[in-house]
Amino acid sequence: MAKAAKAGKNRSGAGATPAVAALSAAGVEFATHAYDHDPAHPSYGQEAAEAMGVSPDQVFKTLVTDVDGVLTVAVVPVSGSLDLKALAAAVGAKRAVMADPALAERTTGYVVGGISPLGQRKRLRTVLDESASAHATICVSAGRRGLEVELAPGALAALTSATLAPIARP
């Protein structure tokens, strides 16, 4: 794991986010990476990749969508974008649109730019882009802007009951 601020099993510490607490409770191997968030940066995910010095293909963004009326989390690499039609197809639905940001925040308990697929207030259906499986570890938001968690994609999929599908486009 790259330059970890914290690494190992069951390391949550004071001020842990619900995402970090969920990983600790599950006994999953992970590392956290903290960095100074710049509110002027145009992309939360790109900022995280730059700050950690890792490829944007290995850093994944968490997007909350509305798929046929059901809030659904899509986790895709920051180097690409979400293919809404592919997301809908992955869950056997007809239509997917981005969810209202305020609804996403209320439902997950996180703020936009810091929404984690882990430790959400209400557990949402999750689809992880299949490109994640090409990496030994990936990074996702740890539940606040300026904090990422690095873990094996299989662990993320297991903890979120995620479906793996090709939902990203370059």
Taking the C-alpha atoms of residue 105 and residue 18, their distance in angstroms, rounded to an integer, is 14
Neighbouring residues of 119: CB distance < 8 A, sequence distance ≥ 6: 17, 18, 19, 20, 21, 22, 109, 143
In the prediction, which pLDDT does 15 show? 59
Is the pTM above the cut of 0.85? yes
**H or E segment to which residue 34 belongs:** strand 30-34
Strand order in the sheet with 96-98: 96-98, 60-67, 70-77, 125-129, 163-165
pLDDT values of the chain reduced to their tens digit, one per residue, 170 residues: 443 444 444 343 445 899 999 999 999 999 999 999 998 888 988 999 999 999 999 999 999 999 999 999 999 999 999 999 999 999 999 999 999 999 999 999 999 999 999 999 999 999 999 999 999 999 999 999 999 999 999 999 999 999 999 999 99
Under a CB-based contact definition with an 8 Å cutoff, are residues 111 and 146 in contact?
A: no
In the prediction, which pLDDT does 51 show? 92
Neighbouring residues of 40: CB distance < 8 A, sequence distance ≥ 6: none
